[in-house]
Chain A
Amino acid sequence: MTDVTAADVTIAVGVSRGLWAEAVRRFLNHRLATLGLIMLAIIVLACMLAPLIAHYGPNDIDLRGRNQPPGDVHWLGSDGTGRDIFARILYGGRISLTVGFVAVAISAAIGIFIGCIAGYFGGKVDLLLMGVIDMVLTFPRLVIIIAFVAVVGPSIFNTMVVIGLLSWPSIARLTRGEILALRNQEFVLAARSLGTSPSVIILEHILPNVLGPILVAITLDVATVILLEASLSFLGLGAQAPAASWGNMLRDARTLSILESQPWMWIPPGAMIAMAVLSINFVGDGLRDALDPQHIMGGGGK
């Protein structure tokens, strides 16, 4: 085992690079995943280009033109203060998607870091970190966020950070498990025997090989966080008026008469949440199939 050379390590990494290309090909062959990616790209692009697409600002009120059904003036109608729903959907999407991506980026960063350390070093470090992971997993997330937002005050920035800080354990656990499985593989032992520093081993040799399942989990987390933001906004703890987010736009549906006779106020945000979550789920599923080691190694398909 000790006589594995650096060349072997390179081969292992090289193989994994080749597998990535294979994965991309598999992903693109996955019809739903490709559809999801396109949908998501359109949504993200539209939200980014909101000022170019929408004729109105998201907070331009027009009290005399309130509650207008969809038409020429307001493509998707106007809300209770005459704001353009279409504009608010696009600008609101910026907030909802940002919350989703940033919160998950925070949680992924923490989760992967802690997972790597726990998995690679094992022993007491692992025991301690697993304790922390268990602890955070024990918190009912929404419940703690409610209390936490009461502390730091409701704002979209706070929501993002709090969600991020509470959502990392599942990723940490996953990372740890994957690394645990690889830790004693030959190419790792080889690198270690060559005196490579742990950070290099983790970053260059181990992480690329376990990124697949982690990426899938991260993707699906984005969808969950978008839903979570909606629930928080429903409770009045998300984006604050007048700012739009899909969640606080959907909150309008609490009013029965809006639910019944002004569907243009809640169908668009509801549909956007559903579409974003749906397309992210498609992408996640596609990634799962594309990166599943069983598929890559065995080549067996379903």
Chain B
Amino acid sequence: MRRLLMSLVPAMALMFAAVIAKAEGGGTFRSAVRTGCIEMGTLHTTCGHRLDETVLQGLVHIKWTGDGVQPMLAESWKTPDGGKTYVFSLRHSVKWHDGTPFTAKDVVFSLNLYANPKVGSPWAQKLGSVAGYKAFQDGSASSLAGVKALDDTTVQIELDSAKPLWVELQLIAISIFPEHILGKVAPGDIKGNAFWVNRVGTGPFIWKKYESDQYVEVDRNPDYFLGAPKLERIIYQIYKDVPPIIAALETQEVDAMSYEGGGVPISELARLQKLDYLTVLPKFSAGLPTYLQFNLENKRFADVRVRQAMLYAIDRKAIIETVKQGAGELSNTLFPQDWARAKDLEPYDYNPDKAKQLLTDAGWDGSQPVDFIYYYSDQMNVDTVTAIQSYLAAVGVNIQPRLLDPAAINQTYADGSFQMGFFANGMGLDPSLGSPVVVCGAKPLSMGYCNTKVDELFNKGLESTDRAVRAESYQEASRILNEELPKAWLWNEVRPLAFNNRIVGLAQHFKEQPLVIFNHPVYNEVEKWEVAK
């Protein structure tokens, strides 16, 4: 008995002795990232780009203000023929973190890596308009015919046809990799290669250490071509779940959270806003159209009146004001960009009687339940699905929600068993990025919708750099999508973000960023950020 107690004493003492104040390293910025963004590598994930901002670099990056591009490894470029051929002049005397000089060969290698079918990158299609892409993909060519190194610091890229916005919309997604390292790896082994957990880049920070499911540490690169960073290091702390990130923000164990994870949950907003060391941006636009997805190949949803009825049946204003606490912009079409939306769209105001009428007219059979799939498992989205279920039940549409993971959802797409669901699609930057959701044959997202007029308008929208001209095409498309409702547009998502004021430059840059820029590395002057004195 006594011996037992005695053995407890040192254990307890150790626990309490361990309760000591946390010492914080001087120039360290700690940022939360979600699991699964690192090991597969930038070529294969949609969320690995936060590391591309700091370790790897592209030829150009999108600016944090969202209104232009920042020359990175390319110092300048010109197009002699209005967007068919681009000639890039690369920065001189840039070195990879291991000391090897960066040259035009690395650029040619990287573009070929993305486009190589054996690598299997989902980003390959970003290079879909480069000359020779199709031949490379179907195996009749062994490289991209349109990409050439003219000399050590000049690269020429030729496209199939003139694409005046190609650099601004496509090239910004492409990172440049070291040929002297990845060139030795067989294309089929690129995914999951050791390189991705020990990256060698040209960026402001040098990869130091990776601990799986814990963190990535990157240290300052004094030779960075845009100037040596002031921060000593950045630690990307890896989290699987959002609640621990919120707790860590509150206890100052991290300074920022990534927006890929969904930002700050609405329900936790008030809590974080009370803390004076945090800057909270409650209405940060996610540029994320959120909608009810229908399988249009399923007869039950083929009648447009059924889809219209569902939209009339849901009191979206009430959901946004209550469950979403204002974190959503009502939307009646695909595009989140104001300039791309026509002004005279049908508003589909809440009208359950009209909904019932439309369903009756369309011969809807309310006795059969509808399988309803969703993915977001946080409180606000579960509450939203609950509200939608209740509104639809009131007009005789009996949906049965199921929370599924991506593999299971993709399976329902693949085998055609998908009926209906609640989804959002990150596009943000430009209306053209919404095309996979609605153009003909863009499986699985377009879900059997096909209107050649819409496809034409999307193509036309890319033919000019003048926003006023482009707006005409997209507004026309927005009208069609508003009438035909291939999806029941609900709202555009708003994702609150929170940052610790300890890092000077962090919150400031996000305040100037108009929306979440998904799937692209963003240039946000990270080399100028510093820890507050």
State the A residues within 8 Å of B (CB): 59-61, 63-64, 66, 80-83, 150, 153-155, 236, 240-242, 252, 254-258, 260
Contacts and interface: CB of A to CB of B under 8 A. Distances in A.
B379 A252 contact: yes
Given A63-B319, A255-B243, A256-B246, A240 B379 contact: no
A80 B265 CA distance: 13
Nearest to B384: A81
A64 to B, nearest CB: 7
B268 interface: yes
A80 B271 contact: no
Given A61-B390, A63-B323, A236-B377, A154 B402 contact: yes
Given A61-B390, A80-B267, A80-B379, A254 B243 contact: yes
Given A61-B386, A242-B389, 17 more contacts: A61-B387, A81-B383, A81-B387, A83-B386, A150-B405, A150-B408, A154-B402, A154-B404, A236-B403, A241-B385, A241-B403, A252-B379, A254-B243, A255-B268, A256-B243, A257-B267, A257-B271
Closest 9 CB pairs of A and B: A63-B322, A80-B383, A61-B390, A242-B386, A257-B271, A255-B267, A63-B318, A81-B386, A81-B383
Given A63-B318, A63-B322, A258 B267 contact: yes
B479 to A, nearest CB: 30
25 contacts: A61-B387, A63-B321, A63-B322, A64-B318, A66-B322, A80-B267, A80-B379, A150-B408, A153-B402, A154-B402, A154-B404, A155-B402, A236-B377, A236-B403, A241-B382, A241-B385, A241-B401, A242-B389, A252-B379, A256-B246, A256-B250, A256-B271, A257-B268, A258-B267, A258-B379
A252 B315 CA distance: 24
Centre residue among A82, A150, A256, A260 by max chain B CB count within 10 A: A256
A232 B379 CA distance: 16
Given A61-B387, A63-B319, A81-B387, A240 B403 contact: yes
Contacts of A257: 267-268, 270-271
Contacts of A154: 402-404
B323 A66 contact: yes
Contacts of B404: 153-154
B323 A255 contact: no
A16 B533 CA distance: 82
A47 B383 CA distance: 24
Contacts of A59: 386, 389-390
B247 interface: yes
Main DSSP-derived SS at the B contact region: helix
Nearest to B374: A241
Nearest to A254: B243
Nearest to A80: B383
Contacts of B403: 154, 236, 240-241
Interface string B378-396: 0110110111011000000
A262 to B, nearest CB: 9
Nearest to A66: B322
Contacts of B250: 256
A242 B390 contact: yes
A235 to B, nearest CB: 9
A252 B382 CA distance: 10
Nearest to A258: B267
Given A63-B322, A257-B270, A241 B386 contact: yes
Contacts of B401: 240-242
Given A63-B323, A80-B267, A153-B402, A255 B387 contact: no
A256 B378 CA distance: 12
Contacts of B408: 150, 153
A254 B401 CA distance: 21
Contacts of B247: 256
Contacts of B382: 241
B274 to A, nearest CB: 10
Contacts of B377: 236
A198 to B, nearest CB: 46
Contacts of A252: 379
A150 B318 CA distance: 34
Nearest to B321: A63
Contacts of A241: 382, 385-386, 389, 401, 403
A259 B390 CA distance: 26
Contacts of A236: 377, 403
Interface in B344-391: 377, 379-380, 382-383, 385-387, 389-390
B515 to A, nearest CB: 25
A80 B323 contact: yes
A63 B243 contact: no
A255 B265 contact: yes
Contacts of B268: 255-257
Contacts of A60: 390
A222 to B, nearest CB: 26
Contacts of A150: 405, 408
Contacts of B270: 257
Contacts of B400: 240
Contacts of A155: 402
A260 B323 contact: no
Contacts of A254: 243, 379
Nearest to A82: B322
Nearest to A61: B390
A244 to B, nearest CB: 10
Contacts of B323: 63, 66, 80-81
A63 B314 CA distance: 12
Interface centre among B318, B382, B403 (most CB of A within 10 A): B382
Nearest to B391: A61
A63 B324 CA distance: 11
Contacts of A256: 243, 246-247, 250, 268, 271
A64 B322 contact: yes
A82 B321 CA distance: 13
Nearest to A262: B267
A258 to B, nearest CB: 7
Interface string B407-419: 0100000000000
A60 B323 CA distance: 15
Nearest to A260: B271
Interface string B306-319: 00000000010011
B144 to A, nearest CB: 40
A50 B408 CA distance: 35
A105 B250 CA distance: 46
Nearest to A155: B402
Contacts of A258: 267, 379
A253 to B, nearest CB: 10
A150 B408 CA distance: 8
A260 B243 CA distance: 14
B430 to A, nearest CB: 34
Contacts of A66: 322-323
B465 to A, nearest CB: 44
